Structure 1
């Protein structure tokens, strides 16, 4: 990484701190870049003492961490943010929830951009917006640990104390003039016990903090199944969020807006993408490596190039 790129990153970093009203120490927590490194970088110094009177260069990885946190593209960005109907729905739901402290559930197809869009939303207000991803093997304790980690809370407590700490931390942010939001992504993996504890979070955070679960229709089916079986806590939770469920419209697999914005002109390639890609995620997985290869070879983006780049056999 050359000096000019580093300076460009740091210029945009300063704009980011000002726009988000963040201190350097807060940014250090967000990015994982040591605060003393940030101080040196901002002073135009790109080395650190290494003992014995020697200096070593601050690692490139720290500049990349800054760039990633502020959304600055160091390399050419091949994928563009397209304003899809799903994006409008997700952002409207998240913004309302954040403004008024609602609990919502967003249900959408795999690959419609739920994770991508919620990441963009969180990045707009990193002081008050938090997101964790639910794992397929996560217990309630695992999930509480993840929430505590993003909120910078101690982990060495019982489950009930962790829940109390989470509620207190988020309420305090609202009291301090912020509009907190907690997003649980891939919530279809939540187990019954976890859903019950989510009810407790809702009961205490309602109108104080947005609580948004994002998942596929598997989440809604799970809630409905557990509700009908009268499993502990689920009917009560479902009653509270029944009218807070937001179902996203289906993906338009003509991908018209994407193909226009990305300037995909080869008619055979357009036809291939429309016949073989079921969602935006799959479209991304085909086009991005192919566009990189097209740049490397200085060739137009065609179906033949895509087949070569992805090693797809001709049928």
Structure 2
């Protein structure tokens, strides 16, 4: 990595820290870059002293900075944000929830862009919005620990003590004029005990902190089934979230927001025929776009087929 690239990364870092109100220590903790290294780097000193010898700071720390602030320092071709109906709908839901402290459940199909959109939302307010991804094996204790880590809270003890500490911190943020939000992505994997835990948080944080569950229709079905079975705590949970459920619009598989600039009409038809959602469209198109750029060739159906290891068309 050249010094010129390092300087650009650090210039972007200064702008990012000012925009989002991060101190050096806060950013060091967020990025994983040691605070001492960060201090040297911000002074344009790319060496540290080790036993009276100058040792260069590894390039990986500059890459960590770039990753933390979302800076594309090597101009790598990336998937462009498109204002799809689902993106605009979901951002509106998230913004309202954050502003008014709502509890919402966002339901959308696989590949519709739910994770992509929530990541954009987190980047807009990294000190106020805390997102965790629910895993299929996660217990309530696992998810509480993930949330503590996301909020940079060092709380030991029982699950009850940790959740009380989380609630107090979110309440403190609201009192100090901030608008906190907690997002659970892939929430269809949540177990009953965790959903009841969200109910408890709702009772303490309604109007003070947004609580948002994001998942597929499996999440809605799970909640409704648990409520119908009169499972402990679920009728109460359902009563609180019933009118906070928001379903995203279905995908128009013509993909007009993504394909208007493609000249090869056969490629457009191929993608519309083969791809069922935005995720599949990205997986099919982005590697081919990078290959077309590398080879300085037009983006065609046969190039996409080649990259995807599919037989070429003979027509």
Shorter-chain TM-score: which interval? over 0.9
User: In 2, distance between residues paired with 1:112 and 1:291?
Assistant: 21
User: In 2, distance between residues paired with 1:284 and 1:54?
Assistant: 48
Residue number in structure 2 paired with 1:270: 268
User: In 2, distance between residues paired with 1:214 and 1:280?
Assistant: 17
Select which of 298, 307, 310 maps to 1:309. 307
User: In 1, distance between residues paired with 2:311 and 2:189?
Assistant: 35
Aligned pairs (5 A) from 1:154-303: 154-260=154-260, 263-303=261-301
Structure 2 SS opposite 1:143: helix
Residue number in structure 1 paired with 2:149: 149
User: In 1, distance between residues paired with 2:19 and 2:118?
Assistant: 20
Structure 1 unaligned blocks of 5 or more: none
Question: How many correspondences in the alignment?
Answer: 312
Deviation at 1:306, TM superposition (A): 0.9
User: In 2, distance between residues paired with 1:64 and 1:120?
Assistant: 20
User: After TM superposition, what 4+ stretches of structure 1 lie above 3 angstroms from structure 2?
Assistant: none
Deviation at 1:155, TM superposition (A): 5.0
Structure 1 SS opposite 2:246: strand
Between 1:238-247 and 1:72-81, the stretch displaced more is 72-81
User: Residues 183 and 212 of structure 1 are in contact (CA less than 8 Å); yes or no, is this contact kept in structure 2?
Assistant: yes
Residue number in structure 1 paired with 2:12: 12
Structure 1 SS opposite 2:182: strand
Residue number in structure 2 paired with 1:74: 73
CA RMSD of the aligned region, Å? Answer: 1.2
Aligned pairs (5 A) from 1:83-162: 83-162=83-162
User: In 2, distance between residues paired with 1:115 and 1:195?
Assistant: 20
User: Residues 135 and 186 of structure 2 are in contact (CA less than 8 Å); yes or no, is this contact kept in structure 1?
Assistant: yes
User: Residues 78 and 291 of structure 1 are in contact (CA less than 8 Å); yes or no, is this contact kept in structure 2?
Assistant: no
Deviation at 1:314, TM superposition (A): 4.1
Task: Give the TM-score, by structure 2 length.
Answer: 0.96
User: In 1, distance between residues paired with 2:285 and 2:30?
Assistant: 31
CA displacement 1:226-249 (0-9 Å, x = unmatched): 000000111101100101111000
Deviation at 1:165, TM superposition (A): 0.8
